């Protein structure tokens, strides 16, 4: 059990041992209901046939919501990023979840993430702008450039989230790369 628990993110050997002893001290019924809940949630969750987000219904609630604009698709790395962008309440278009980024070092190529599905969607012709919201990491930037090269020839605008100083941040404590990008990406006032 400890070995299995250690595979969870953020759970090291010590935490795993603590969790294990906690579970061993619970009634069998409780452990069974936890085990079933985990399995049921996993069994009922699949990828949306449209946006590849995790969902219990296919298409997912976001894709089947007719009030959402069809002219913009926000491309993110992971399902949690959809929630992050939704929390801003500033984006009213659709999403596409890549389930990863291109990373030659880790052996992840373009065919290993949901790019073919994105291109198929763009082929429908309703999308005017692809907003690439991959993380501002080396792999996220490389994936953004790759997507731009694929999508721009289709006559669709490709934009990237701004990189710069976080809101409420402080110049004095900003790291050099962030401040460089803030400088390079400066905009007219």
Query: For residues 86-125, which are near a copy of itself according to CB under 8 A?
Result: 87-88, 90-91
Tell which one of 48, 75, 77, 117 touches a copy of itself (CB under 8 A): 77
Tell which one of 16, 117, 133, 143 touches a copy of itself (CB under 8 A): 133
For a copy of itself, the closer of residues 85 and 108 by Cβ is 85
How far, in Å, CA of 42 to CA of 40, rounded?
A: 5
Report CA 54 to chain centroid distance, whole Å: 10
**Residue 161 binds to a copy of itself (criterion: CB under 8 A):** yes
How far, in Å, CA of 21 to CA of 125, rounded?
A: 56
How far, in Å, CA of 162 to CA of 116, rounded?
A: 26
For a copy of itself, the closer of residues 47 and 163 by Cβ is 163
Do the Cβ atoms of 45 and 56 come closer than 8 Å? Answer: yes
Q: How far is the CB of 62 from a copy of itself (least distance, A)?
A: 16
Is residue 73 within a helix (H) or strand (E), and if so which, with residue range?
A: strand 72-76
Tell which one of 5, 20, 23, 145 touches a copy of itself (CB under 8 A): 145
Q: How far is the CB of 90 from a copy of itself (least distance, A)?
A: 5
Q: Which conformational region is residue 98 in: left (phi greater than 0), alpha (psi within -120 to 50 degrees), or beta?
A: alpha
Span of 27-35, 61-69, 74-82, 111-119 interacting with a copy of itself by CB under 8 A: 74-82
- For the stretch 159-170, what's the b/e string if a residue is b when 16 or more beta carbons lie within 10 angstroms of its beta carbon? ebbeebeeeeee
Tell which one of 70, 78, 99, 128 touches a copy of itself (CB under 8 A): 78
For the chain, what's the residue count? Answer: 189
Q: How far is the CB of 133 from a copy of itself (least distance, A)?
A: 6
Residue ranges binding a copy of itself (CB under 8 A)? 76-78, 80-81, 83-85, 87-88, 90-91, 131-137, 144-145, 147-148, 152, 157-189
């Amino acid at each position: 059990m400890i070995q299995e628990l250690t595979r969870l993110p953020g759970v090291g050997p010590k935490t795993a041992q603590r969790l294990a002893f906690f579970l061993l001290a619970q009634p069998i019924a409780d452990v069974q209901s936890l085990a079933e809940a985990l399995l049921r949630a996993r069994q009922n969750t699949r990828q949306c046939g449209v946006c590849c987000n995790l969902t219990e219904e296919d298409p997912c609630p976001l894709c089947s919501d007719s009030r959402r604009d069809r002219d913009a698709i926000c491309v993110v790395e992971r399902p949690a990023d959809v929630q992050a962008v939704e929390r801003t309440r500033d984006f009213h278009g659709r999403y596409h979840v890549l389930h990863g980024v291109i990373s030659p070092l880790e052996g992840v190529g373009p065919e290993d993430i949901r790019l073919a599905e994105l291109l198929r969607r763009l082929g429908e012709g309703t999308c005017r702008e692809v907003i690439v919201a991959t993380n501002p990491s080396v792999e996220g930037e490389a994936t953004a450039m790759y997507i731009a090269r694929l999508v721009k020839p289709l006559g669709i605008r490709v934009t990237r989230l701004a990189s710069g100083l976080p809101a409420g941040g402080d110049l004095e404590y900003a790291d050099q790369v962030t401040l460089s990008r803030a400088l390079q990406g400066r905009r007219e006032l």
